[in-house]
Structure 1
Amino acid sequence: MDALAEAVVAGAPRETLTRIPLPDTYTAAHLRAADVGLFEGVEDKDVRKSIHVGDVPMPELAPDEALVAVMASGINYNTVWSATFEPVPTFAFLKHYGKLDRWSARHDLPHHVLGSDAAGVIVRTGAGVRRWHVGDEVVVATAYVDDEDPATHWDGMLGDTQRAWGFETNFGGLAHYAVVRANQLLPKAPHLTWEEAAANPLCAGTAYRMLVSERGARFKQGDVVLIWGAAGGLGAYAAQFVRNGGGIAVGVVSAPEKAERAKAMGCHVVLNRQQLGLTGNEPPDPATAGKRLGKLIRGAVGEDPHIVFEHVGRATFGISVFVVRRGGTVVTCGSSTGYQHEYDNRYLWMRLKKVIGSHGANLQEQWETNRLISLGHVRPALSATYPLSETAEASRLVQTNRHTGKIGVLGLAPRSGLGVSDEARRAELGGDAISPLLTRQ
């Protein structure tokens, strides 16, 4: 650990952090461009073979950026996509981005530092950063947007150069340091540990935009919401938003042992994929599976879903379009089982249903999400924590769907349980029960 990192871990004041020089290199979980062809012709693209943990060069900081000493981060499915080089190697994203200007050119490197979640301490700010200072404890939102793009001021997710940080950009959060734009920063909730805080931004913000935001499904009190993958990272936050907002959350999970965990995060009813004939990534007949699912949902809550929360993709999308009620909405943010979806369009147009594409969250949506987390109304979906050296193993859990909720990764934090600055508030909200899914420290 370098001198600056040691000072951060020791809780050194702002003045001390400012005086200590930056290291020339830092430890990071990263991919290598030389490995892009690693999985050609291979059926099991095991990410443990492509994710490396080691030293990478420290980049120069742009005027609108901050350098964050990362205390903890988390695994998202985009890390799996990056590490399998599918659907295209993310080095293609970095090369394309690198052509824009001097600062974007820094990202086009033979290595890609991964990670789209982080919690930590600011150790440097660029000359143009006004609202944030060295020593501030922060979490990092995922949307990487350009303040000079006019569309950004309508919705940060609509700008031409909007990117997912740590996936379509370099210098992500699975590292000892991360480079972020100032418009990604949010105050860390003081009652949470580093790893609890790091688990939230990407999945919680994405779920908020999908369900609550006016740009999403516009969920309202009393809505029945079908949540695929209800025990996963996205699903665990979706269930909380639905329950908090007076809706009825119907979750679908992939294994019996995940049912209780989905209920712990807010689901009123939990169904197993095996009940629907879903045993792999290939979709069953949508009408057959949809009729079976609809009957189960009506038997449990009395009516068809108003909204379907989709991110599974190919294996479920046709069922989602079939099962949502007349005039209902399918909102989707991903396709973990495949991007090519098939559905019967008659059920979409003749029954006046809607499909809404949703991606990430803009800064206001992230800020609202972070406020709910800080108030204790939304709880972390953290289920396990791994050291940075085991990032590949943690990513493999997500790749093979053997995880629940979010998998955390410690960066500079020497152990789990650190980072709480408001112990009284934590005790008031339930102490260590704040993270209902947590099983491994």
Structure 2
Amino acid sequence: MSVTSVDVTGGEVRVVTDELSEAVLAGASGSELEQRPTPDEYIAAHLRREDVDMFADTADKDVRRSLHVGPVPMPDLAPDEVLVAVMASSINYNTVWSAMFEPIPTFRFLAQFGKQGVWEARHDQPYQVVGSDAAGVIVRLGSGVRHWQVGDHVVASPAYVDDQEPGTHADGMMGSRQLAWGFETNFGALAHYTILRASQLIPKPAHLTWEEAACNTLCAGTAYRMLVGEHAARIKQGDVVLVWGATGGLGGYAVQYVRNGGGIAVGVVSSERKARVLRNLGCDLIINREELGFADYNGDDPAQTVEIGKRLGAIIRRETGTEPHVVFDYVGKATFGISVFVVRRGGTVVTCGSSTGYAHQYDNRYLWMKLKRIVGSHVANLQEQWETNRLIGMGRVVPMLSTVYPLDQVGEATRLVQLNQHIGKVGVLCLAPKEGLGVTDPELRAEMGERVQLVRNA
């Protein structure tokens, strides 16, 4: 490996490269990339199995202690896989969970997955390369890959599915062997290279930079399935949609889908800066948590849940004329009981996560007696991801990227998300030596103007 120094905003950034990645950075053609050797190892952000118990005696499970950046072995490529040189990635909350070894160490997922076959056995290693978002360049094709070429610019769907399982053909998310790539599998995105199944590949939006393209698929696709696709809420014109965590990665895309679909977006935030972001996104009604009196509420008191729900419902009714048709909830324990209470009769609470805790409390009377629904949703199938990507490629949905870190500071980037001190998505430069690279449709970018960076400019 060699070290390339690149000046970025007055500072020196050291990028460790090999012959193949140097060719990628130089813009080599697909045929040229095929002639460059694949390195035996590559730089990656990874966890170590030996560290699984490191937080046993501490309350602060600081992910900067468990995340390591350094060389790992290059795995072999299965027939249905591609090797991608990762230009940029981003931080998702599943990387926080992995790095805290909660709710269980993800090495257990790797061990279970490794028992399924020869190619699966590669994933059961004493290290795990994490990360579930990527934008990059295909540099190798497995022998069974069709429709793609070396040199193609791609982004990655985080849904890792088994295309030989019957359930997958009804809906990719319904196969029992569906996994979250970079969380329940190895060789994830926060690295110079990653391995993807061909069924994860999506064309990179041409008007976006590498870091902008890398922040979308997991959160934008998940929010699309929850609100727009046929499997969850299926919002329609005029629907009032309450979005918790409305300036988070998931919430920011949710607000955009509601607005695009003719709905009325109601966002809950905790600061004026976040409110400013929501105004830029066109959110119809912005509510500060302080108005509701539950900045630090953890969801444990049924009486307080109802009281907060009444205050929230009164504000929404006053401003929109009705209770929410849909509540978009990925926050979990702290908000879920409120969501069930505040959604209108016959309405839907759709959930895809629980960043404040998995054990939700809610009063079931408000669910059954008012004929409400709770719908679980997880990531998105490939068709939903392609539809999401089409909207992004048209400029109808903008990236939620707020800040960018280099790969060697991935611990700091993940810590920011762990402490909820971020807005939108936190990007990570992997092979890309600086921000602003990767745009191949400058005309569309110019046409969009500053809108493409709504979150960063807020």
Q: What is aligned with 1:91? A: 107
| TM-score, length basis structure 1 | 0.98
- The C-alpha deviation readout for 1:186-208, integer Å capped at 9, x for no partner, is 00011000000001000000000
Q: Is contact 1:144–1:164 with CA below 8 Å preserved after alignment?
A: yes
Q: Counterpart amino acid of 1:427?
A: A
Q: Give the alignment partner of residue 42 of structure 1, picking from 49, 58, 70.
A: 58
Q: Is contact 1:208–1:369 with CA below 8 Å preserved after alignment?
A: yes
Q: What is aligned with 1:333? A: 352
Q: Give the alignment partner of residue 362 of structure 2, picking from 343, 353, 375.
A: 343
- More displaced stretch, 251-260 vs 103-112: 251-260
Q: Counterpart amino acid of 1:106?
A: R
Q: Is contact 1:229–1:235 with CA below 8 Å preserved after alignment?
A: yes
Does residue 420 of structure 2 align to residue 404 of structure 1? Answer: no
Q: Counterpart amino acid of 2:66?
A: S
Task: Tell me, in whole angstroms, the C-alpha distance in 2 between the residues paired with 1:43 and 1:295.
Answer: 38
Does residue 192 of structure 2 align to residue 173 of structure 1? Answer: no
Q: Give the alignment partner of residue 200 of structure 2, picking from 177, 180, 184.
A: 184
Does residue 98 of structure 2 align to residue 79 of structure 1? Answer: no
**SS of corresponding position for 1:429:** helix
Q: What is aligned with 1:124? A: 140
Task: Tell me, in whole angstroms, the C-alpha distance in 1 between the residues paired with 2:186 and 2:283.
Answer: 36
1:269-418 aligned at under 5 Å gives the runs 269-280=285-296, 282-283=298-299, 284=301, 285-418=304-437
TM superposition shift of 1:286:
1.5
Q: Give the alignment partner of residue 278 of structure 2, picking from 258, 262, 284.
A: 262
Q: Is contact 1:71–1:119 with CA below 8 Å preserved after alignment?
A: yes
Q: Counterpart amino acid of 2:347?
A: G
Q: Is contact 2:398–2:451 with CA below 8 Å preserved after alignment?
A: no
Q: Counterpart amino acid of 2:263?
A: G
Task: Tell me, in whole angstroms, the C-alpha distance in 1 between the residues paired with 2:223 and 2:336.
Answer: 17
Q: What is aligned with 1:60? A: 76
- The C-alpha deviation readout for 1:284-313, integer Å capped at 9, x for no partner, is 521111001101111222211000000000
TM superposition shift of 1:160:
1.1
Q: Is contact 1:236–1:266 with CA below 8 Å preserved after alignment?
A: no
Instruction: Give unpaired runs (5+ residues) of structure 1.
Output: none
Q: Give the alignment partner of residue 162 of structure 1, picking from 178, 202, 218.
A: 178
Q: What is aligned with 1:101? A: 117
Q: Is contact 1:64–1:128 with CA below 8 Å preserved after alignment?
A: yes
Does residue 131 of structure 2 align to residue 115 of structure 1? Answer: yes
Q: Counterpart amino acid of 2:312?
A: L
Q: Counterpart amino acid of 1:346?
A: R
Q: What is aligned with 2:225? A: 209
Task: Tell me, in whole angstroms, the C-alpha distance in 2 between the residues paired with 1:250 and 1:232.
Answer: 14
TM superposition shift of 1:40:
0.7
Q: Counterpart amino acid of 1:423?
A: P
Task: Tell me, in whole angstroms, the C-alpha distance in 1 between the residues paired with 2:453 and 2:169.
Answer: 35
Does residue 436 of structure 2 align to residue 438 of structure 1? Answer: no
**SS of corresponding position for 1:195:** helix
TM superposition shift of 1:257:
1.9
Please give the root-mean-square deviation of Cα atoms over the aligned residues, in Å. Answer: 1.0
Q: Is contact 1:114–1:171 with CA below 8 Å preserved after alignment?
A: yes
Instruction: Give unpaired runs (5+ residues) of structure 2.
Output: 1-16
Q: Is contact 1:116–1:173 with CA below 8 Å preserved after alignment?
A: yes
TM superposition shift of 1:266:
3.1
- The C-alpha deviation readout for 1:199-223, integer Å capped at 9, x for no partner, is 1000000000000011010111110
| TM-score, length basis structure 2 | 0.95
Task: Tell me, in whole angstroms, the C-alpha distance in 2 between the residues paired with 1:406 and 1:49.
Answer: 22
TM superposition shift of 1:439:
5.4
Q: Counterpart amino acid of 2:366?
A: Y
TM superposition shift of 1:281:
5.6
Task: Tell me, in whole angstroms, the C-alpha distance in 2 between the residues paired with 1:347 and 1:165.
Answer: 37
Task: Tell me, in whole angstroms, the C-alpha distance in 2 between the residues paired with 1:228 and 1:64.
Answer: 38
Q: Counterpart amino acid of 1:362?
A: N
Q: What is aligned with 2:8? A: none
- Work out the number of aligned pairs and report it: 439
Does residue 176 of structure 2 align to residue 137 of structure 1? Answer: no
